[in-house]
Amino acid sequence: MTILEQDDKELREVIARFQETAGEKLYFQRLLNPHFQSPDWDHSRIVFEMKDDFVGNLLYRTLHGGIIASMLDTAGGHVVVLSLFKKVKGQPIEKQFQKVIHVGSIDFRIDFLRPGRGTRFTADGWILRIGNKVAVTRMELRNEEDLLISVGTGTYTVGY
């Protein structure tokens, strides 16, 4: 097994554990039903389907702004978690989770660029900067036609 294959296997395991834990423990995550499909340690990708519960405008059946914001925030937080896991790869699992347990949103800014029309959406997140205490991320939400719906910048805690 090459280093890349081993790294990919570990990334897939981390994503699966993250999805399982969020789905079991967090009601809001179960409601959103995000599918984590991050392609690498430095890029978060979350795919979700439109549901009737997500409609913000009944006439046009567009995504509610709160759902858009939640998915962007989730993508930002997830890429921070991935980045922290990348730093502690190979260490005991308890130590890995101790590193990521303190991740939390501090600040969030969103720009709604167009109505959230579509049936399937993808939220992507990237690290802009990560330090010992704070991480800053960039997020984008697109529909199945690859139209950019919204962008955001998030700041997250990464330690005390």
Q: What is the CATH number of the domain that holds 8?
A: 3.10.129.10
- Element (DSSP H or E) covering residue 56: strand 55-57
pLDDT at site 91: 79
Low-confidence ranges of the chain (pLDDT < 50): 1-6
User: Which domain range does residue 49 map to?
Assistant: 3-157
CA angle in degrees (0–180, nearest 5) for 135-126-84: 50
CA angle in degrees (0–180, nearest 5) for 97-12-9: 105
pLDDT at site 118: 96
pTM for this one?
A: 0.82
pLDDT at site 7: 58
pLDDT at site 34: 84
Number of domains composing the chain: 1
pLDDT at site 36: 86
Q: Kindly give, in sequence order, each residue whose CB lies less than 8 Å from that of residue 61, ignoring residues fewer than 6 positions away.
A: 50, 55, 117
